[in-house]
């Protein structure tokens, strides 16, 4: 995945709203989790944009995102922000980087794009 061009508006939002006052990786992770949990308007439809080992989704497959994965469960996900989805009659967690919102509201679209940008910039916890 190519590194996206620097987006000053997005950088400002990430710095001043999401990771502001974060002094370590754990605090930055919590900042992101809280931001995404507050901005994602669940439930919403999402489409798989990349396959991942450990995830059953295939490119183009659509799912319903029901929530952020509970922060205690998600803490075991090695720095990934995961969402809870409904898939083939089951509920499971998948990385948000694997999904794009389909006909979502502006806040949800922005939050997903912010997370994708952060990851594509090579940042991690």
Tell me if 13 is assigned to some domain.
yes
Tell me if 125 is assigned to some domain.
no
pLDDT tens-digit profile of 54-86?
Answer: 899 999 999 999 999 976 666 555 578 999 999
- DSSP-derived letter for residue 54 is T
* pLDDT computed for residue 16 by the predictor: 92
Give how many domains the chain has, as a whole number. Answer: 1
Tell me the HSE value of 37 on the side-chain side, using a 13 A CA sphere. Answer: 11
List of residues 6+ apart from 82 with CB closer than 8 A: 68, 69, 73, 74, 93, 94, 95, 96
pLDDT in tens, the chain (125 residues): 678 889 999 999 999 999 888 888 888 888 999 999 999 999 999 999 999 988 999 999 999 999 999 766 665 555 789 999 999 999 999 999 999 999 999 999 999 999 999 999 988 76
Tell me if 1 is assigned to some domain.
no
Tell me if 2 is assigned to some domain.
no
Tell me if 100 is assigned to some domain.
yes
* pLDDT computed for residue 32 by the predictor: 93
What CATH number should be reported for the domain holding residue 27?
A: 2.30.30.530
Tell me if 89 is assigned to some domain.
yes
Pairing of strands 44-48, 99-101: antiparallel
Tell me if 64 is assigned to some domain.
yes
* pLDDT computed for residue 71 by the predictor: 63
Q: In terms of residues, how long is the chain?
A: 125
* pLDDT computed for residue 114 by the predictor: 96
This prediction's pTM = 0.90
Alpha-carbon span 85 to 27, nearest angstrom: 25
Domain encompassing residue 17: 8-120
């Amino acid at each position: 995945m190519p590194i996206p061009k620097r987006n000053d508006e997005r950088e400002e939002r990430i710095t001043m709203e999401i990771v502001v006052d974060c002094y370590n990786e754990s605090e930055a992770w919590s900042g992101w989790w809280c931001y995404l949990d507050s901005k994602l308007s669940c439930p919403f439809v999402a489409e798989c944009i990349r396959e991942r080992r450990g995830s059953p989704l295939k490119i183009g497959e659509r799912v319903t995102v029901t929530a952020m994965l509970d922060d205690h469960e998600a803490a075991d996900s090695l720095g990934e922000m995961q969402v809870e989805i409904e898939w083939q009659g089951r509920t499971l967690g998948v990385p948000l980087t694997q999904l794009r919102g389909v006909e979502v509201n502006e806040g949800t679209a922005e939050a997903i794009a912010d997370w994708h940008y952060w990851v594509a910039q090579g940042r991690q916890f």
